[in-house]
Amino acid sequence: MAISMLDSNMEVDKLTYEIFSILENKFLFGYDDSKNSVTGKETNLSAPFAGNKIVGTGKVRILSIDAGGSTDGVLAAQSLTHLETTLRQNSGKNDAHIADFFDIVAGSGAGGVLAGLLFTRGNDGTPLFTANEALEFILENGRKIGRNSKNGFFRRVSRPAKVFNKVFGDLTLKDTMKGVLIPCYDLKTGTPFVFSRADAWEMDGCDFILADVCGATMADRGVGLQSVDGRTKITAVGGGIAMTNPTAAAITHVLNNKQEFPFANGVEDLLVVSLGNGDSDSGAGNVMSSLAAFVKIAGDGTADMVDQAVSMAFGQTRNNNYVRIQGNGIVGKKYQLIKDENVNKSERMKKMVVIAEEILGQKNVECVLFQGKKLVENSNLDKLKIVASELIKEQERRKTSILPPVVLKHASPSPRTSSATTLSFVSSC
């Protein structure tokens, strides 16, 4: 059945194939029939968040952040800055953080770095970075940690490691505050490898230093790293190769991880915010002359395919339960031009933010499987404001809820591999 979603001539890695199979088999077919929902219960899907009226357990809030894209993380970071500002204003909590309003984050490449910055616990018990501080970090260190550095092999490996070590020190996946999923590609096994907080708490062999995790998901060539106990060793290249858009992986993780998300039975039990990272800056004319251009175009195509499949999976509930922020292809080229300009760092940073703001002001793009993209009336900023309102509603609802929708694990007496990364760890842990 899954072959109907994917061109049979495409070469698809096992993890991606499994994700799309699950999405199709569980959600896509028959989902519009309210009497044939994935929970097996009759539900009025036309009413916002109606599925939760049956059990009253609320929604699992998922944040997904793409790999670099044309803006190398700036668009996603700017989106998160707007979202955090809105959450603070509307909730009345001036010290609120992004991590307060999400239960799990999945980030690839630059998105993985943002996930680490925003969801790792600091000494005072709050996240290490605010969204604005994370944006400043990306702007300040983009060239040091970016995959397109032209400073030679030694600096490509040593400079990102130095930057990440300074931020995270000896903190590990166990020091993250919520669920965290950060992918890379393991050259040793030839499969995607997902760093997972849930697995880290279950097995020491799956706990990694966060500085190494960020280095792995940003790597543009093989970087060797090992788990805290030395049992698991991989040779990693960037998350953009393994999983440009990690949204489907995050959804699959939540729906199969019944220990932490016991009441998440279908997409009606989720609230997903997926952040793209700009437009493709690789023209078709560069495909044959540049392997990097080809990889970027392939990554952009995969990100769109995931967006389309997820959007269709949500069916009638996608307007309330799924939000995707992504450029519409108009200004991506401008961003590449200013990266190539011979201007001082301060001026370049200002221009990068201006272009990210321009993308956020564009009309939002919705992808529909087999039907392409369409522009909607709301802008990307409008969508962020709408989702902020829903996140606050869910936060308030939980104050009076008897059953918690999320039960994060801290330790397990009997080790096992969680559903999040079974495919990645089968030959590693």
Residues with a known catalytic role? 108
Q: What does DSSP assign to residue 224?
A: E
Shortest CA distance to 420 belongs to which of 206, 172, 196?
Answer: 196
Q: What is the crossing angle of helices 380-398 and 345-361, to 10°?
A: 80
- Beta-carbon contacts of 315 under 8 Å, excluding residues fewer than 6 positions away, are 27, 28, 31, 32, 45, 267
Q: For residues 117-141, b (16+ Cβ closer than 10 Å) or e, as one string?
A: bbbbbeeeeebbbbbeebbebbbeb
**Amino acid type, 279:** D
Burial classification of residue 230, based on how many CB atoms lie within 10 Å of its CB (0-12 exposed, 13-18 middle, 19 or more buried): exposed
Angle at alpha carbon of residue 114, lines to 109 and 120, rounded to 5°: 120
Task: Label each residue of 161-215 as H, E or C.
Answer: HHHHHHHHCCCEHHHECCEEEEEEEECCCCEEEEEEHHHHHHCHHHCCEHHHHHH
With tokens 């990097």, the residue in question is 292
